[in-house]
Structure 1
Amino acid sequence: MRLHICAVGRLKTGPERTMVDDYLTRFDKTGRQLSLGPARVTEVEDRKGGGMSAEAALLSRAVPDGALTCIMDERGRRMPSPDFAQQLATWRDQGRQDVAFLIGGADGLDSSLRESADFALSFGDMVWPHMLVRVMLAEQLYRAASILAGTPYHRA
């Protein structure tokens, strides 16, 4: 099952980019044996200043046809890491070929994306900078693959 992180904005060279790249490399290595991955990042940018609706259109175009869409939203479902790992396994076992995680820009996601999403995931009640959400999601994908593979990375 291929994973797509579709995000508004471009990560520049720096610690966030390094961390995302590192966790996704780890995910790809661990997930391969579990039929998870590869995981790829697609960045979109509204250069015309059209706001959240323009960002929503760009994000929608970045999602592969037939992909399950999971938005990252503070109103989404909160779940511990083992449950997230099980959710990925469930989607895989249901025959999903693609899952796209959508991360909005500084103003969040347009309501049209929230309404059409298959799943909404939250990293808690706090609002996180969209650039950090990428890092957190990449780490949680790696953690999920580690949990499913039975490696000692997750020590809960």
Structure 2
Amino acid sequence: MRVHICAVGRLRSGPERDLLDDYLTRFDRTGRPLGLGPATVTEVEDRKGGGMAAEAGLLDRAIPKGAVTIALDERGKLLTSPDFADLLGRWRDEGRGDAAFVIGGADGIDASLRQKADFKLSFGKMVWPHMLVRVMLSEQLYRAASILAGTPYHRE
């Protein structure tokens, strides 16, 4: 199952980019033998100032057809890392070819796109910087692959 991170904004070089790249490389290495990966990042920018609705249109076009769509949203469901791993494994086992994780801009994800998502995932009640959420998601993807592979990275 290919994994797509579809996000608003461009992540420039720096510590966040380094962490994102590192965790996605780890995810690809651990996940491929399990049928997970590769992971790609698609960044969109609304250069015309159309706000959340315009961002939603750009994000919607970045999501592969038929992908299970996961909106990262503070109102979403809280999962433990093992539960997240089980969810990824279930989608893979159901034959889903693509999973698209959608990260909105500074104001979040437009309600129209959020409602279309198959699943809404929260990293807690706090609001996180949308650039940092990419790093947090990539780490959790790597952790999920590690859990499914039975490696010692995740300790309960």
Q: TM-score range by the shorter chain?
A: over 0.9
What per-residue deviation string (whole Å, max 9, x for no partner) do you get for residues 72-92 of structure 1?
000000010000000000000
Q: Indicate yes or no: 2:137 matched with 1:141.
A: no
- Is 1:154 the equivalent of 2:149? no
Which residue number in structure 1 is paired with residue 67 of structure 2?
A: 67
Structure 2 equivalent of residue 87 of structure 1:
87
| Whole-Å separation in 2 of the counterparts to 1:36 and 1:6 | 17
Tell me how large the CA RMSD over aligned residues is.
0.4
The aligned runs of 1:6-45 (5 Å cut-off) are: 6-45=6-45
SS in 1 for 2:137: helix
- Sequence identity percentage: 75
TM-score (norm. length: structure 2): 0.99
What's the secondary structure of 1:76's corresponding residue? strand
Deviations along 1:84-106, one digit per CA (max 9) or x if unpaired, are 00000000001000000000000
Q: Provide the C-alpha distance between the structure 1 equivalents of 2:45 and 2:153, rounded to a whole number of angstroms.
A: 34
Separation of aligned partners in 1, 2:12 and 2:115:
31
In 2, distance between residues paired with 1:47 and 1:19? 27
- For residues 48 and 18 of structure 2, what CA distance do their matches in structure 1 show? 28
Give distance in 2, aligned partners of 1:80 and 1:68.
20
**Paired residue for 2:115?**
115
Q: Find the residue that maps to 1:30 and give its secondary structure.
A: helix
Q: Which runs of 5+ in 2 are unaligned?
A: none
Query: Residue 101 of structure 2 corresponds to which residue in structure 1?
Result: 101
Deviation at 1:107, TM superposition (A): 0.4
For residues 39 and 120 of structure 2, the distance between their equivalents in structure 1, rounded to whole angstroms, comes to: 19
Q: Extract structure 1 runs of 4+ deviating beyond 3 A.
A: none
Q: 1:68 and 1:44 mapped to 2: Cα distance? A: 19
Secondary structure at the aligned position of 1:134 is classed as helix
CA shift for structure 1 position 114: 1.1
Question: d(CA) in 2 for partners of 1:19 and 1:55?
Answer: 25
Mark the runs of 5 or more structure 1 residues left unpaired by the alignment: none
Match of 1:2 in 2: 2
